[in-house]
Amino acid sequence: MELISPTDYAKDLVLAIQEWTYLAARSIGNVFRQPRYVADTLQQADLIGVGSLPIVVLTGFFTGGVLALNAARTLEQYGSLSLTGQLVSISMVRELGPTLAGLMVAGRNASGMASELGSMKVTEQIDAMRALGTDPSKKLVTPRVVATIIMLFFLTIICDFFGLTGGFAVSALGLHLDAHQYWSNAYQSLEFGDVIIGLVKPLLFGFLVATIGCYYGLTSRGGTQGVGRATTQAVVAASIMILGVNYFASQLLLYLLK
């Protein structure tokens, strides 16, 4: 295996960040410029949103369930089993809903974008598109970014809801908690700030997932092997960025909403 010098590695990293930043900025700037590819955006919204619905629902449901299960063991020791709904709702809405939905969409769609655009890149379809007078960042990147941001927002809400439902299923069937008590506790414990935090994060995650997926696709080279590498790198980078940004976004939002 060929070793790469630390200087070259650092240069490549800085260049990659610069290129990604440029692509990400253009993808947002394109929203305010003609032409706008509405049909492509709707098609992507269908692929990303409707396509990701089953995994987001299942992930949310089982995570909510296991949260309730684990929380109950601790809460029972303090005689506070009735607070299960509160713990599930705050955890799901503030942290787990956005993060899990983001990771699911990253696994499913960042890889899809990287492989689709990567295949187009290595078969010269991207160059053909440019040669035909179309800006690939407008035609391919912006629709994916816009669709991912919007759909991840709604997928997160759905993930939160099914997380609460999963928690409720475990509380009602396993812990024999009163349904009204669970739901009112879950609802009343949520503050305005929790909801805002939970709804701002998916906007950031959607942006990251789509721009990272598109970036790796558009910069892939080296034939089918290169496309495979780009796909893997896109999922890894998007997942790490979601987890990292989640921490800093939580810090910032908690400070701002204090």
Partner 1 sequence: MPAPVAPAESPAPISGAQPQTVIVFQDVSISFEGNPVLEGISFQLERGETKALLGVAGSGKSTILKLTMGLVKPDRGQIWVLGQEVSAMKEEDLFELRRKIGMVFQESALFDSLKVRDNVAYRLIEEGVPDDKVQKRVEEALRFVELEHTLNMLPSELSGGMRRRVAIARAIVDQPEIVLYDSPTGGLDPVTSTTIIELLVKQRDVYHNSSLLVSHRLQDAFTMATHYFDRNQNRMVPVDGAHIDTRTSFLVLRDSKVIFDGSAHELASTRDEYIREYIS
By CB under 8 A, name the one of 128, 173, 179, 240 that touches partner 1.
128
**Least distance from partner 1 to the Cβ atom of residue 124, Å:** 4
CB neighbour list of residue 194: distance below 8 Å, 6 or more residues apart: 90, 93, 94
Encoded one letter per residue, x for contact with partner 1 by CB under 8 A and - for no contact, window 29-68 reads ------x---------------------------------
Least Cβ distance, residue 116 to partner 1 (angstroms): 9
Question: Least distance to partner 1 from the beta carbon of 233, Å?
Answer: 20
Size of residue set near partner 1 by CB under 8 A: 14
Q: How far is the CB of 126 from partner 1 (least distance, A)?
A: 9
All residues at 6 or more sequence positions from 190 whose CB lies less than 8 Å from its CB, including other chains: 89, 90, 93
Question: Which amino acid would we find at residue 211?
Answer: T
Rounded Cα gap, residues 95 and 150, in angstroms:
19
The answer to whether residue 130 forms part of the interface with partner 1 (CB under 8 A) is yes
Residue from 131, 176, 180, 255 in contact with partner 1 (CB under 8 A): 131
Q: How far is the CB of 198 from partner 1 (least distance, A)?
A: 36
Q: Which two tokens stand for residue 38?
A: 């509405």
| Residue from 8, 19, 76, 127 binding partner 1 (CB under 8 A) | 127
**Tokens of residue 111, six digits:** 């890889």
Residue 18: partners with Cβ closer than 8 Å, 6 or more residues away: none
Q: Output 94 or 121, the one with its CB closest to partner 1.
A: 121
Which residue in 107, 128, 19, 127 sits closest to 59, CA to CA?
A: 107
Closest listed residue to residue 72, CA positions, set 175, 182, 142, 190? 175
Tokens 């989640």, located at residue: 246
Which residue's CB is nearer to partner 1, number 23 or number 249?
Answer: 23
Return the SS3 of 123: coil
CB of 58: closest distance to partner 1 in angstroms?
Answer: 29
Q: How far apart are CB 213 and partner 1 at their closest, in Å?
A: 17
- The shares of helix, strand and coil residues in the chain, as percent rounded to the nearest 5, are 90, 0, 10
Whichever of 102 and 112 has its CB closer to partner 1, that residue is 112
- Of the listed pieces 98-106, 126-134, 194-202, 219-227, which binds partner 1 according to CB under 8 A? 126-134
Residue whose structure tokens are 């939970």: 198
Instruction: Give CA–CA dist 123/120, Å, rounded.
Output: 5
Candidate residues 124, 243, 252, 257; the one interacting with partner 1 per rule CB under 8 A: 124
Binding site for partner 1 (CB under 8 A): 35, 120, 123-125, 127-135
